[in-house]
């Protein structure tokens, strides 16, 4: 009678195993780091269970990790006295991938793994690295729960695994690797000792290889910064962040009042949310007197700081606090506030000390600070000076702060101006910035879709309003640089009467597609522009909100401003007298063009048809203009094409 059950792996696990076995050849030694890190996690959890006074099975088993090597049978055994797994947990943890919701996950993993197998740990699938060296992996586990039974999980990675009862186990997990022929070199205690030194010296429990302890257990964050070497910090970072690179920033500090806090925080080099992994788990764990209370804590720092890795330890916390109770614990909230403030101050110092390095940080992680401005009212003010943008005064790719912008403001300028565009070129060639160029006023380019939301949440900076250049009521200060007031007095533009007749007619043509039609005071070289008459929604915000809710009715109506000195508009005034149907099409096309320049959607089919009709008219008229010179026609078409 056999009680062995066979289970299929989840499809994603099969694919993952395929990647692990067939495409990963280099640096296979990291399998040990992954197994030790899992063992350490299980021990940390157990230690915490013990302090919350739960009854645990095998209460006296020492909290350590034992590695045994059999160089005859070519096996490696990693044993821990951690929390262990029940039958259900074995199925859940070793048969499925938690991240599998993200569809691009495996593709990303395969890509990353090709570049650097070390990245596998970042993807939360470290256990499967065992199959890089083992032809069969057996996991014997006995949960801490007093009423649990022992089980053995076993697989050769060929699509399924088996489960069978395994009575008589101690608490915790024993992982037995039956090494592949070509990985037999790892059945060597000396080799394993080197690997532990290389990757796992910060595991906070004794690691014993064949009975001999090979690491020094220490909580780095409790030591004084003066006596810690850079190398130690970096190794510690690699250990807690499961990282391969070195951190770009490090902040190690201790406070005694109002709370006793020790914190060691790192900013990584890379932003892993870029890799299609979805939202990162928070990277900071909460300790109390060196005991892990909450790994990757969701409560100890604001959510937008999830890119920070590290440790926060406070002995003022009650040791036996449960994870659920952390959420509404006042002390935790206080620690959160203190550490966040300190971290923001640290970033401010870094920006002063080395602006280039800070800007590089901002390009990678600025998106999190912006998220903070939008979602976290309490830190909004402190975050604003840390933001960076391109502007008409920066070189492409260079960044400036709002404070620097304010310092450069000429007398008389009271507001901070910005315009959204998909990229710098679009911003610079669009109609919105021409009046700024002419007046020699600096304008910030908000090139990231979230930027306009950030500015609308901030509202102002240093008492100066943040104003989008697509607002209808834009009032720019007189810098004395503007050439004239564009009213058309020099005979270049339309007379006041002609302008108002044209505007009235355009409004009847466009009907309620626009709110108002006006003569523009701001345009220089462009014929027309759409601007937002009501309030704070910029065109960029509108585009994003509409993309998110496709059934949203077109939101605010725009004003169309026309440039009465522009040849196209002057020609239009004439065309409306001579050929109204044609002039109507021109007006509609002008509106569509202006909408497109604002980044807003138009009906592409109607627009293309109309455009063809206009082009047809243009080619039809051209020869007539050249040969017959009907009165008015030539000047009209030539100027319109300028
Ligand atoms: P991760 O450690 O990132 O969660 P892994 O693939 O390394 O991903 O492990 C998957 C899960 O299996 C772990 O989250 C844990 O729940 C469980 N697990 C692995 N090893 C052990 C162990 N030694 N003791 C208890 N649980 C373990
Ligand atoms: Mg792991």
**Which ligand is nearest the CA of 122, by number?**
1
Q: Averaged over 482-489, what is the pLDDT?
A: 52
* Same domain (yes/no): 166, 305: no
* Same domain (yes/no): 24, 139: yes
38 CA: nearest ligand 1 atom:
20
Q: Averaged over 158-178, what is the pLDDT?
A: 97
- Whether pLDDT at 328 is above 90: no
Q: Averaged over 611-631, what is the pLDDT?
A: 74
34 CA: nearest ligand 1 atom:
7
- Whether pLDDT at 630 is above 80: no
Ligand 1 close to Cβ of residue 410 (< 6 A): no
CA of 426 to the centre of ligand 2 (A): 46
Q: Are 79 and 209 contacting, i.e. CB atoms less than 8 angstroms apart? A: no
Q: Give the C-alpha separation, 249 to 267, whole Å.
A: 5
Tokens (6 digits) for 111? 């890509």
- Concatenating the DSSP letter of every residue in 12-34 gives HHHHHHHHHHHT--TTTTHHHHH
* Same domain (yes/no): 116, 194: yes
121 CA: nearest ligand 1 atom:
3
Residue having the nearest C-alpha atom to atom 27 of ligand 1: 38
According to DSSP H, which parts of 313-354 are helical?
Answer: 323-326, 330-353
User: pLDDT tier at 111 (50, 70, 90 boundaries)?
Assistant: confident
- Whether pLDDT at 489 is above 50: no
Can you give the pLDDT at residue 586?
96
User: pLDDT tier at 19 (50, 70, 90 boundaries)?
Assistant: confident
Q: Averaged over 349-366, what is the pLDDT?
A: 97
Q: Which residues, including other chains, have CB under 8 Å from residue 626's CB and lie 6 or more apart?
A: none
User: pLDDT tier at 121 (50, 70, 90 boundaries)?
Assistant: low
- Whether pLDDT at 99 is above 80: no
Give domain status of residue 297, yes or no. Answer: yes
Can you give the pLDDT at residue 544?
79
Spatial CA neighbour of 285 closest among 314, 258, 256, 260: 314
**Which one is predicted more confidently, 484 or 96?**
96
Give domain status of residue 477, yes or no. Answer: no
Q: Which of 309, 337, 353 is the last residue of a domain?
A: 353
Phi, psi of 47 (to 5 degrees): -60, -40
Can you give the pLDDT at residue 302?
97
Ligand 1 close to Cβ of residue 38 (< 6 A): yes
* Same domain (yes/no): 265, 177: no
* Same domain (yes/no): 41, 80: yes
Looking up tokens 């780091």 gives 33
For the stretch 519-529, pLDDT in tens is 998 899 999 99
Can you give the pLDDT at residue 642?
38
37 CA: nearest ligand 1 atom:
2
Give domain status of residue 376, yes or no. Answer: no
Spatial CA neighbour of 140 closest among 160, 167, 108, 102: 167
Span between the terminal Cα atoms of the chain, in Å:
92
Residue having the nearest C-alpha atom to atom 11 of ligand 1: 93
Residue range of the domain that includes 349: 220-353
**Which one is predicted more confidently, 543 or 501?**
501
Ligand 1 close to Cβ of residue 16 (< 6 A): no
CA dihedral (99, 103, 104, 108) in degrees, to 10, reads 30
Residue having the nearest C-alpha atom to atom 14 of ligand 1: 93
- 10 Å CB burial of residue 135 (0-12, 13-18, 19+) is middle
Q: Averaged over 612-631, what is the pLDDT?
A: 73
Q: Give the C-alpha separation, 518 to 562, whole Å.
A: 6
Ligand 1 close to Cβ of residue 173 (< 6 A): yes
For the stretch 209-258, pLDDT in tens is 999 999 887 889 999 999 999 999 998 998 888 888 899 999 999 999 88
**Which ligand is nearest the CA of 66, by number?**
1
User: pLDDT tier at 639 (50, 70, 90 boundaries)?
Assistant: very low
Ligand 1 close to Cβ of residue 82 (< 6 A): yes
Q: What is the CATH number of the domain that holds 507?
A: 1.20.120.790
- Concatenating the DSSP letter of every residue in 191-241 gives HHHHHHHHH-TT-SS-EEETTEE-S----GGGS-GGG--HHHHHHHHHHHH
* Same domain (yes/no): 177, 266: no
CA distances to 242, 267, 414, 415 from 384, in Å: 31, 19, 18, 16
CA of 210 to the centre of ligand 2 (A): 23
CA distances to 404, 405, 504, 564, 584 from 509, in Å: 46, 42, 9, 17, 7
Tokens (6 digits) for 230? 């850079």
User: pLDDT tier at 633 (50, 70, 90 boundaries)?
Assistant: very low
Report how many domains make up the chain.
Answer: 3
Spatial CA neighbour of 94 closest among 141, 148, 32: 141
The residue to mutate among 92, 93, 98, having the most atoms of ligand 1 within 8 angstroms of its beta carbon, is: 93
CB atoms within 10 A of CB 619: 8
* Same domain (yes/no): 265, 341: yes
The bridge status of strand 516-519 relative to strand 559-562 is parallel
Give domain status of residue 426, yes or no. Answer: no
Can you give the pLDDT at residue 638?
44
Q: What is the CATH number of the domain that holds 77?
A: 3.30.565.10
User: pLDDT tier at 77 (50, 70, 90 boundaries)?
Assistant: very high
Q: Which of 151, 185, 213 is the last residue of a domain?
A: 213
Q: What is the mean pLDDT of the chain?
A: 88
Residue 397, CB-side half-sphere exposure with 13 Å CA sphere: 2
Residue 464 DSSP symbol: E
User: pLDDT tier at 103 (50, 70, 90 boundaries)?
Assistant: low
- Whether pLDDT at 634 is above 60: no
* Same domain (yes/no): 297, 328: yes
Q: Which residues surround ligand 2, an ion (CB under 5 A)?
A: 38, 126
Give domain status of residue 249, yes or no. Answer: yes
Q: What is the CATH number of the domain that holds 315?
A: 3.30.230.80
| Residue 164 three-state SS | strand
The bridge status of strand 460-461 relative to strand 75-80 is unpaired
* Same domain (yes/no): 117, 239: no
The residue to mutate among 41, 94, 170, 173, having the most atoms of ligand 1 within 8 angstroms of its beta carbon, is: 41
CA of 366 to the centre of ligand 2 (A): 29
For the stretch 565-604, pLDDT in tens is 999 999 999 999 999 999 999 999 999 999 999 888 889 9
3-state SS of 468-511 is: ECCECCCCCCCCCCCCCCCCCCCCCCCCHHHHHHHHHHHHHHHH
Does 88 sit behind a cis peptide bond, omega within 30 degrees of 0 on the bond before it?
no
Can you give the pLDDT at residue 16?
85
Q: Give the C-alpha separation, 386 to 183, whole Å.
A: 50
Alpha carbon 334 to chain centroid, angstroms: 26
CA of 129 to the centre of ligand 2 (A): 10
Question: Is the pTM of the predicted complex or chain greater than 0.85?
Answer: no
Ligand 1 close to Cβ of residue 598 (< 6 A): no
User: pLDDT tier at 610 (50, 70, 90 boundaries)?
Assistant: very high
CA of 232 to the centre of ligand 1 (A): 26
Can you give the pLDDT at residue 158?
92
Q: Give the C-alpha separation, 320 to 538, whole Å.
A: 50
* Same domain (yes/no): 171, 244: no
CA of 240 to the centre of ligand 1 (A): 15
DSSP β-bridge partners for residue 312 = 263, 286
* Same domain (yes/no): 311, 230: yes
Can you give the pLDDT at residue 97?
81
Give domain status of residue 588, yes or no. Answer: yes
Q: Are 598 and 538 contacting, i.e. CB atoms less than 8 angstroms apart? A: no
User: pLDDT tier at 26 (50, 70, 90 boundaries)?
Assistant: low
Spatial CA neighbour of 568 closest among 627, 531, 523: 523
* Same domain (yes/no): 203, 310: no
Q: Averaged over 335-341, what is the pLDDT?
A: 96
Give domain status of residue 448, yes or no. Answer: no
Spatial CA neighbour of 471 closest among 414, 568, 539: 539
Give domain status of residue 604, yes or no. Answer: yes
């Amino acid at each position: 009678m056999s009680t062995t059950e066979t289970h299929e792996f989840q499809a994603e696990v099969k694919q993952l195993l395929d990647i692990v076995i067939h495409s990963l050849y280099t640096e296979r030694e990291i399998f040990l780091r992954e197994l030790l890190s899992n063992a350490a996690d299980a021990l940390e959890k157990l230690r915490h269970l013990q302090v919350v006074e739960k009854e645990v099975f095998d209460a006296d088993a020492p909290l350590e990790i034992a590695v045994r090597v059999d160089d005859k049978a070519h096996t490696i055994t990693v044993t821990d006295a951690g929390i262990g797994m029940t039958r259900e947990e074995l199925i859940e943890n070793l048969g499925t991938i938690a991240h599998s919701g993200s569809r691009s996950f495996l593709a990303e993993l395969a890509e990353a793994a090709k570049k650097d197998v070390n990245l596998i740990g970042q993807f939360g699938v470290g256990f499967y690295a065992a199959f890089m060296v083992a032809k069969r992996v057996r996991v014997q586990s006995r949960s801490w729960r007093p009423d649990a039974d022992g089980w053995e999980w076993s697989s050769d990675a060929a699509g399924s695994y088996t489960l069978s009862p395994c009575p008589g186990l101690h608490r915790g997990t024993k992982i037995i690797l039956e090494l592949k022929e070509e990985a037999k070199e790892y059945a060597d205690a000396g080799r394993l000792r080197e690997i532990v030194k290389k990757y796992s010296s910060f595991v906070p429990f004794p690691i014993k290889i064949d009975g001999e302890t090979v690491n020094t257990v220490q909580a780095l964050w409790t030591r004084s910064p003066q006596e810690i070497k850079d190398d130690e910090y970096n190794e510690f970072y690699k250990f807690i962040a499961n990282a391969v690179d070195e951190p770009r920033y490090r902040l190690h500090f201790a406070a005694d009042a109002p709370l006793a806090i020790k914190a060691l925080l790192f900013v990584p080099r890379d932003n892993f949310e870029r890799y299609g992994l979805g939202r990162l788990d928070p990277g900071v764990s909460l300790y109390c007197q060196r005991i892990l209370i909450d790994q990757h804590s969701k409560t100890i720092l604001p959510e937008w700081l999830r890119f920070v890795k590290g440790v926060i330890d406070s002995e003022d916390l009650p040791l036996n606090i449960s994870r659920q109770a952390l959420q509404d614990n006042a002390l935790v909230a206080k620690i959160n506030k203190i550490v966040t403030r300190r971290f923001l101050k640290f970033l401010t110092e870094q920006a002063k000390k080395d602006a280039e390095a800070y800007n590089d940080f901002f390009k990678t992680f600025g998106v999190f600070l912006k998220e903070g401005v939008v979602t976290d009212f309490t830190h909004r003010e402190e975050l604003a000076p840390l933001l960076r943008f391109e502007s008409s005064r920066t070189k492409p790719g260079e960044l400036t702060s709002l404070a620097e912008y304010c310092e450069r403001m000429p007398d008389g300028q009271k507001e901070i101006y910005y315009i959204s565009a998909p990229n710098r070129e679009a911003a610079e060639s669009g109609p919105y910035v021409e009046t700024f160029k002419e007046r020699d006023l600096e304008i910030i380019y908000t090139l990231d879709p979230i930027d306009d939301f950030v500015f609308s949440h901030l509202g102002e900076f240093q008492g100066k309003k943040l104003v989008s250049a697509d607002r209808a009521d834009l009032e720019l200060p007189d810098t004395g640089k503007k050439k004239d007031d564009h009213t058309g007095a020099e005979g270049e533009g339309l007379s006041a009467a002609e302008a108002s007749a044209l505007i009235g007619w355009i409004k009847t043509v466009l009907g309620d597609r626009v709110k108002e039609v006006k003569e523009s005071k701001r345009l220089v070289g462009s014929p027309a522009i759409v601007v937002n008459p009501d309030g704070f929604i910029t065109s960029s915000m509108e585009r994003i909100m509409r993309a998110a809710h496709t059934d949203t009715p077109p939101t605010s109506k725009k004003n169309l401003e026309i440039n009465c000195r522009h040849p196209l508009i002057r020609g239009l005034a004439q065309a409306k007298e001579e050929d109204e149907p044609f002039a109507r099409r021109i007006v509609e096309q002008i509106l569509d063009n202006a909408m497109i320049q604002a980044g807003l959607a138009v009906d592409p089919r109607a627009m293309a048809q109309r455009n063809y009709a206009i082009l047809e008219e243009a080619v039809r008229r051209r020869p007539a203009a050249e040969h017959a010179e009907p009165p008015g026609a030539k000047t009209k078409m030539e100027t319109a094409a300028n």
